[in-house]
Amino acid sequence: MKTKSLFFGLLLSSSMAVAQNTSNMSSNPLLQPFDTPHQTAPYDKIKPEHFLPALKEAMAQGKKEIDAIVDNKAKPTFENTIIALEQGGENVGKASSILFHLNGAETNPEIQKTVREASPLLTEYGNDITLNDKLFARVKAVWDQRDKLKLDTESAMLLEKTYKSFARNGANLNAADKEKLRGINKELSQLSIKFSENNLAETNEYSLVVTDEKDLAGLPDFVKEAAKAAAKRLNKEGWVFTLHAPSYGPFMQYADNRDLRKQLFLAYNGRGFNGSKNDNKDNIAQIVKLRYEKAKLLGYATWADYILEERMANSKQIVNNFLNDVKKYAEPAAARELAELTAYAKKNGFAEDKLQRWDVSYYSEKLKKEKYAINDELLKPYFKLENVLDGIFALTNKLYGISFKENKNIPGWHPEVKAYEVFDKDGKFLAVWYGDYFPRAGKRAGAWNNSVQDQWIENGVEYRPHVVNVCNFSRPTDTKPSLLSFNEVTTLFHEFGHALHGMLAKGKYQTTSGTSVAWDFVELPSQIMENFAEEPEVLRMFAKHYQTGEVIPQEYIEKIRASSNFMAGLANLRQIGLGMIDMAWHSNVPNGESVAQIEEKADVGAQIYPKVEGISVSTAFSHIFAGGYSAGYYSYKWSEVLDADAFELFKEKGIFNQEVATSFRENVLSRGGSEKPMVLYKRFRGREPKPEAMLKRAGLIL
C-alpha cells in the first residue's frame, strides 16, 4: 500500500472515504507534522471528523502538483514527469492510509460513514489523474523514448509501471468512454465497501448462547473459559460462542452437540446469503457485472484477462491449468481421506451414510488425536502468544541480524496494540512494526499485513516503513494468557513474513518498494516463513510451557511434523475450490447466473460433501469482493510452489545458513517490485521453481 503516490486515491478507492466536518485546519493532526517517534501516525489524537478536511486539503494540493507537471514548458523527462508524479500527493496518501487501516482494524459507525462519503471523492481524484489527457501525453512521451534514457533497472520498472497505470486505467479511451469508466469506478468502490460492511455486521450480530452446561460436552477448558469470558463481556448468562475464528473454529472441532455444530456452521456459512439487511448476493451480481464492463471498456475479454496481464501467471489458461493440475493430485487424496474419516466416524457411533460439513472438523480432530496422540489442547500451553513473538524475533535475528524493541511512546489505535522499533545488525533503524492480535467488534475477521508508510528515498532522505500485523487470536482469560493453536502459530509466522517484506525494503521509489510486487509473488515471503514454524530448531526457541517453562518435548515436535499432512488432500482441495470459484466469477462473461449456480459448478468441495441449502462461499468471500484478490485467489497455491521450492535451498544448506538467508534478503525481501518476479526468484534460487517440492510437502506425491 502506498502512502504518498498521487495514484493512492485511485488504488484505495474501493476501501476509503471521508466524513463531513468543519474541523479547524490548524488543530487537525492530519494536517500537521507528526510529532511522534519516527513520525508515526498520532492515533491517540486522530478523530473521524479530521479526515474530510485533511483529504480535501490534500487533494487540492495534489491537483496543484498535477497542474505543475502538466504546465511545465520543458519537454517531458523522467525527472520532471515520472519522478514528479511519484513524489506528489504526500498528504493524500498519509490520510488515506490511516483511514483505510482504521476501517479494517478499529472501525465504528463514524469511520464507516467517513469511508462511504470519501470513497467517491478519492475515486474521482484518482480518475482525474489517470484520465488527464495532457498528463498522459507527457508520461507517454517519456515512455516512447525509454530505450534512449539509460535508466537503471528500478527506474525503468517505475517508468513501466507508471505508463501501464495510465494505459490500464483508461488513459487511451475516448472522452465518452472515460466518463463511463469514471462511473464504473465510483460504483465499484461503493459496492466493495458495502460488501465488507455487510460481512462485518453478519459476523458481529450473531452469537450462540449456551446456558445448559451439558451442551458444552467435548469442549476443552480453554474453549469454555473463553466462552464464559465472552458472555461476561456481553452481560449474558452462560457461555457465548461467536462467528469470530477463535470461537467458531474450536467449537466445530470439539463440541459433541451435533445440533449446535450444525447451527453454528449454518450461521457462519450463511453470512450474506440469508436475505437479511446484510445480504450480499445483489452486491456480488453488481460487482461482477461492473468489473466485466470495465474490462470490456479497456479492451479485455473478461476481468480475469485484465487482472492477469500483470501477474506471473499471465493468462486464464495458465491459471486454470495450474488449478486443475493440482486438483488431479488433491482430489484422489481428499476422497481417500474422507472415506477414512467416514469409516472412523461410523466406528465411533456415527449413524448416517455420509458426513455432513459440520461433522468434518469434529471427527478430524478425534482421528488426528487417535493417530498421532496430538491435538490443540495438548499443544496450546506451549504456544503462549508472547513466547511465539519472541521466537519470531529470535529467528529473524538469526537469519537477518535484525532486532526488535518495544516503544510505548508510539501511539496505537487501541490499548492492545504494541509498537516496536526494528533495527538492523549494525544498529541502523529499519522500521516501526505494530502487532494487534485479538478480536474486537470493530475489527474485521481474519489476519492481514499492511503498511501505513512505505519505504522510499527522496532528495537524499530515506523514509523507513511503518508496518502492521493484525490477527484474531484467543484473548487472555482471567486464568490463562493468550495460547495459540499450531495453526495460529503458522498464521503469525505468515503475516510476519509479509511484514519482513516491508520492513527490509531497500528501494528508491514507493511504487517499486516492499510488497508492491505482482500479486502472485507477494505470498512468497509470508509462506516461506511458515516453513520455519515447523522446524525443530525453531520450535525449541519459543515453544515453552506457559506455566513451567518446559521446552516442548521432542516427541511433540515429531508428532507435529508427522501430522503436518493430516487431511492435506481435503485442505488442498478446498484451496483449489476457492480459486476456481474466484475464476468462475471473473473469467467468464456474466450471464445472470445466481450465486448458487456459480458455486454448484465451481466449488469442488460441493462434489464430495452432501449438498447443504442456505450456505455460500461467495457472499462472505471478502478476499475477492472487498479485497485485492479478484481473479487472484489462485496466488496462494501458486506461491506455495515458490515457497516450497525456495525452502528446499534452506534445508539443503541449513535452515540458518547465512549465505542463503542473505541471498533471500537481498534478492527477494529487499528488492520489492524493482524487477520482474521471476528474475528475482531465479537470482535467489539459480533456476525457475519446480512444483515437486510443494506436492511432496503436501503429501500429494511420494
Of 244, 269, 294, which marks where a domain is finished? 269
Closest CA to 362 of 256, 232, 280: 256
Q: Give pLDDT tens digits for 620-650.
A: 999 999 988 999 999 999 999 999 999 999 9
Of 633, 648, 677, which marks where a domain is finished? 633
> Is position 120 within any domain?
yes
Q: How far is CA 482 from the centre of its chain?
A: 23
**Within 10 Å of residue 138's Cβ, how many Cβ atoms?**
21
Residue 680 to residue 675: CA distance in whole angstroms: 7
- By residue range, what is the domain housing residue 599? 281-374+567-633
Q: Which three cell numbers stand for residue 556?
A: 511433540
Contact 433, 467 (CB under 8 A): yes
Contact 365, 626 (CB under 8 A): no
Of 269, 289, 304, which marks where a domain is finished? 269
CA dihedral 619, 276, 263, 339 (to 10 degrees): -30
Contact 362, 254 (CB under 8 A): yes
429-436 and 466-470 beta bridge pairing: parallel
CA dihedral 320, 324, 327, 329 (to 10 degrees): -140
Q: For the chain, give percent helix, strand, coil, nearest 5.
A: 60, 5, 35
What's the pTM value of the predicted model, to 2 decimals? Answer: 0.92
Residues contacting residue 591 through CB under 8 Å, at least 6 positions apart: none
Tell me the DSSP string of 101-148: HHHHHS--HHHHHHHHHHHHHHHHHHHHHHT-HHHHHHHHHHHHTGGG
The residue annotated as part of the active site, out of 495, 523, 530, 599, is 495
Do 107 and 12 lie in one domain? The reply is: yes
Do 671 and 524 lie in one domain? The reply is: yes
User: Which residues, given as ranges, of the chain have pLDDT below 70?
Assistant: 1-26
pLDDT of residue 25: 55
**Within 10 Å of residue 556's Cβ, how many Cβ atoms?**
18
pLDDT of residue 27: 87
Contact 509, 153 (CB under 8 A): no
Do 538 and 661 lie in one domain? The reply is: yes
Closest CA to 385 of 306, 310, 483: 483
Do 60 and 137 lie in one domain? The reply is: yes
Residue 620 to residue 208: CA distance in whole angstroms: 19
Sign (positive/negative) of CA torsion 491, 247, 576, 334? positive
Do 32 and 150 lie in one domain? The reply is: yes
Do 523 and 626 lie in one domain? The reply is: no
> Is position 200 within any domain?
no
Closest CA to 207 of 143, 268, 284: 268
Computed over its alpha carbons, how large is the radius of gyration of the chain?
Answer: 25
Q: What one-letter code names the amino acid at 624?
A: I
Do 15 and 103 lie in one domain? The reply is: yes
E strands within 389-545? 403-406, 418-423, 429-436, 448-453, 456-458, 461-463, 466-470
**Within 10 Å of residue 680's Cβ, how many Cβ atoms?**
21
Q: Cα angle vertex 478, ends 476, 479, to 5°?
A: 90
Do 319 and 390 lie in one domain? The reply is: no
Contact 356, 259 (CB under 8 A): no
pLDDT of residue 604: 78
Do 400 and 526 lie in one domain? The reply is: yes
Distances (CA, A) of 451 to 34, 244, 381, 454, 501: 17, 24, 32, 6, 11
Do 393 and 508 lie in one domain? The reply is: yes
> Is position 580 within any domain?
yes
Sign (positive/negative) of CA torsion 432, 433, 438, 444? positive
Q: How far is CA 602 from the centre of its chain?
A: 23
pLDDT of residue 702: 73
> Is position 173 within any domain?
no
Contact 632, 520 (CB under 8 A): yes
> Residue 599 is part of a domain; what is its CATH number?
1.10.1370.10
> Is position 501 within any domain?
yes
Q: 237-259: string of b/e by CB count within 10 Å (b at 16+)?
A: eebbbbbbbbbbbbbbbbbebee
Do 418 and 368 lie in one domain? The reply is: no
Clarify whether 495 is annotated catalytic.
yes
Distances (CA, A) of 583 to 93, 319, 401, 580: 31, 9, 41, 5
> Residue 514 is part of a domain; what is its CATH number?
1.10.1370.40
> Is position 220 within any domain?
yes
Domain count for the chain:
4
Residues contacting residue 553 through CB under 8 Å, at least 6 positions apart: none
Do 536 and 666 lie in one domain? The reply is: yes
Q: Give pLDDT tens digits for 43-58.
A: 999 999 999 999 999 9
> Is position 183 within any domain?
no
> Is position 174 within any domain?
no
